[in-house]
Amino acid sequence: MPVRIGVVLFVLAIGGAATWWKRSDQFKYGCAEVIFGAIGSGAVISYVKVDNLFTPMVGLISSVCVASRGFNNVLDGMPEEMRRTQKKERRAMEDVRREEEEWLEP
């Protein structure tokens, strides 16, 4: 029983951390979700037995759902990722401009 409680608490902690990560960077979270879905499907397919296809099929369908959600999160997070990238590029250009001005000053 204590092991089960520990597993439940661990799952809740990881779920909370994943929620925080998704809210802070949905694009990268979505990419990780797609990768996790792909790895999950590979793990499931390696345990397929002809006499029991139900369990692997449930695993594969779950992997498809995770990957699908991941693609959705990538698309939803893309505008924010693009804004971040543009902001970094603007800062870099401003730094270059400042350095040029300092270099050109007599």
Q: What is the pLDDT of residue 29?
A: 92
pTM of the model: 0.68
CA distances from 10 to 1, 43, 66 (A): 14, 22, 20
Sketch the domain layout of the chain as residue ranges: 25-104
Read off the pLDDT of residues 57-82 as tens digits, 9 standing for 90 and up: 888 888 899 899 899 989 898 888 88
- Tokens describing residue 82: 């693009």
Dihedral (Cα; 42, 45, 47, 49), 10-degree rounding: -170
